[in-house]
Amino acid sequence: MRAMVLNAVREPLVLRDVPKPKPGRGQVLVRVKACAVCRTDLHILDGELPNPKLPLIPGHQIVGRVEQVVENGNGFSIGDRVGIPWLGWTDGDCAYCRSNRENLCDRGQFTGYIIDGGYAEFAVADARYCFPLPDDYEDAEVAPLLCAGMLGYRSYRKTGDAKRLGIYGFGNAAHLITQVALYEKKEVYAFTRPGDKSGQESARKLGAIWAGGSDQTPPAKLDAAIIFAPVGALVPAALKNLAKGGVVVCGGIHMSDIPSFPYVDLWQEREITSVANLTRLDGEEFLEIAPRVPLKIKVETFSLEEANAALEKFREGELAGNAVLKVSSS
């Protein structure tokens, strides 16, 4: 079995033969068909997230077929298509798990970070955290729904019934969540890098009522803003554009420092919050809504061996859609 392996942070992944993993109790062994690339993979590679498992096989948006089930596949059988997301394991027992906040579990383990992930021909997962996937999508298409989609959806749900929704950082998650927001009759205001005319154009094409640079002021006050770009300076910028009682949701796992800002910008019950990980319920809800929208997912595919190139294109913002590794397994 071959996998792209991270030996040390800030080093490129290397293709290695690794022993075929043995599934344990209640786990599934999955033959990987596709694994989408996420900004979080870059954060891990760059050493911006603490204590990754090393050596590590990255990748937490895995689509594959169940090859082997041990004891209890949690309803999955051999041959089933399965999605493996970022949330890989929780203890089910801490104060967070017992209050429906398993995304905050004290001992939570994450795919492609603490558990080996999907930049590989095979992956092992705890079946309780895997999702059946809607038939409407190809393997490569559905892969980005497992993080860009699900984490984006959790961010979106945190905006409640906000009518005017600002989205900062118009990448993969924004593309997906804009479609859900429009389906739910929201107005989307898209903020791109200043001067990114083509990004603004594509946001308008998707249905955004307004698109501009993150240095611009939208024509109306926003009820909520989601920040997908890992740029702390966008937090006070978004706050300034909020109506009273509005919320800024930081949707990323890592962000540069947030500059200070006057209290008056937060006053009038404005809020700043963040989104961490996902619960299984988020995933189930999102996979149910996706084909109803129906979500259109743009992908640019790479082979497993091209993982480093896919990551670099992601870093440079040169992708035409979600980067997905298509893994050809023999």
Residues that bind Zn ion (CB under 5 A): 38, 40, 90-91, 94, 97, 105, 147
94 or 182, CB closer to Zn ion? Answer: 94
* Least Å from the CB of residue 202 to Zn ion: 21
* Least Å from the CB of residue 91 to Zn ion: 4
242 or 287, CB closer to Zn ion? Answer: 287
89 or 210, CB closer to Zn ion? Answer: 89
Nearest to 169 by CA among 236, 234, 246: 234
177 or 242, CB closer to Zn ion? Answer: 177
DSSP conformation letters of 182-251 = HHTT-EEEEEESTT-HHHHHHHHHHT-SEEEETTSPPSS-EEEEEE-SS-TTHHHHHHHTEEEEEEEEE-
- As a whole number of Å, the end-to-end CA separation of the chain is 9
- State the amino acid at position 120 in one-letter form: A
* Least Å from the CB of residue 11 to Zn ion: 20
Residues in the chain: 330
* Least Å from the CB of residue 54 to Zn ion: 19
The DSSP output letter for 49 is S
40 or 279, CB closer to Zn ion? Answer: 40
* Least Å from the CB of residue 68 to Zn ion: 26
Half-sphere exposure in the Cβ direction for 297 (13 Å, CA): 26
* Least Å from the CB of residue 263 to Zn ion: 33
Nearest to 141 by CA among 133, 152, 151: 133
Whole-number Å distance between alpha carbons of 179 and 208: 9
Nearest to 207 by CA among 189, 184, 231: 189
Query: H helices within the chain, ranges in order?
Result: 39-45, 139-142, 148-157, 172-183, 197-206, 234-240, 280-289, 307-316
Contacts of 24 (CB under 8 A, 6+ apart): 70, 124
* Least Å from the CB of residue 122 to Zn ion: 20
40 or 192, CB closer to Zn ion? Answer: 40
Compute the chain's Rg from CA coordinates. 19
* Cis preceding linkage at 132, omega within 30: no
90 or 200, CB closer to Zn ion? Answer: 90
40 or 179, CB closer to Zn ion? Answer: 40
